[in-house]
Chains A and B, each alone.
Chain A
Amino acid sequence: AQSVTQLDSQVPVFEEAPVELRCNYSSSVSVYLFWYVQYPNQGLQLLLKYLSGSTLVKGINGFEAEFNKSQTSFHLRKPSVHISDTAEYFCAVIDSGYALNFGKGTSLLVTP
C-alpha cells in the first residue's frame, strides 16, 4: 500500500512569514498526491493535487507544492501566510486505486 508521512505535527509561524509543510511518500511507479485543508470542526477541502506533468503545482489560497521524485517528497509552501490559514493540513496519496491514504496531519498555527 502506498503511504505518506507528514514530518511535522505542528508548525507555528508568524503572520506574513513563509511556511513549508513537509510530506514524504512511499516510492511507487506512479503516484498521485493531494493536499487537503481542514478548518476546525469542518470537512476537508482540496488545496491542490499532483497527477502528472509539471512538478510545481499551484493550488487555492496562494499555496503551491513541488513534486520531487528523487526525494519522494511533496512539500506544501506559501510565501506569506495569513491568520486565516490556521488549520489542519493533510497530505494524501491514492491507495489501491480506490481511496485516499492520509498522513496524520500538520497543524498550522499562524500568530500575529
Chain B
Amino acid sequence: DGGITQSPKYLFRKEGQNVTLSCEQNLNHDAMYWYRQDPGQGLRLIYYSQIVNDFQKGDIAEGYSVSREKKESFPLTVTSAQKNPTAFYLCASSILPGSPLGEQFFGPGTRLTVL
C-alpha cells in the first residue's frame, strides 16, 4: 500500500541534543511538508519542499533544518536551538506542489518530548 511513514512514533530527547525525525513516502509525490502541532494551536508549517534538492522555510523554521536528497525522503532535524521542541510533528506530501488539486496526505506523526 502507498503511503507516508514516520519514525519513530515516540521520541525522547535530552536538552541540548539534536534529533532527526524520519519521513518517507512511496506515493511518488513531488512536494513534501513538515508541520508542528501543539494543543489548541492547530498545525503550523515548519518547512516544505517542492522538488528534490530544494526547500523553503515555513512560518516557524527557526531551530529546525531539513534536507531533500531523494524524492521519497524528507527528514527533519530538531536542533538544540529550538527553544521549545516538545510537540507532535506531522509530515505530509502532495503530488502537485502549489496546486489545490494536490491533496496533502499525512503521515501518522512523531511525538517528541524533551526531558
Cβ of B43 within 8 Å of any chain A Cβ, yes or no, is yes
On chain A, which size bracket covers the interface? 20 to 34
Chain A neighbourhood of B31, CB < 8 A = 98
A53-103 with Cβ < 8 A to chain B = 90, 94, 97-103
B37-64 with Cβ < 8 A to chain A = 40-45, 48, 50, 56, 58
Instruction: Please tell me the number of chain B residues within 8 Å of chain A, measured between CB atoms.
Output: 30
- Inter-subunit contact A41/B101 (CB<8 Å): no
Cβ of B103 within 8 Å of any chain A Cβ, yes or no, is yes
**Nearest A residue to B90 by beta-carbon distance?**
A43
**For the complex, would chain B's binding face be called helix, strand, loop or mixed by DSSP majority?**
strand
Taking A90-B43, A100-B45, A101-B45 as given, write out 12 further A-B residue pairs in contact, using a Cβ cutoff of 8 Å, ordered by the A residue number.
Answer: A9-B40, A32-B100, A43-B6, A43-B90, A44-B43, A44-B106, A51-B100, A98-B56, A98-B98, A102-B35, A103-B42, A104-B40
Residue positions of B touching A, CB distance < 8 A: 4, 6, 31, 33, 35, 40-45, 48, 50, 56, 58, 90, 92, 97-101, 103-109, 111
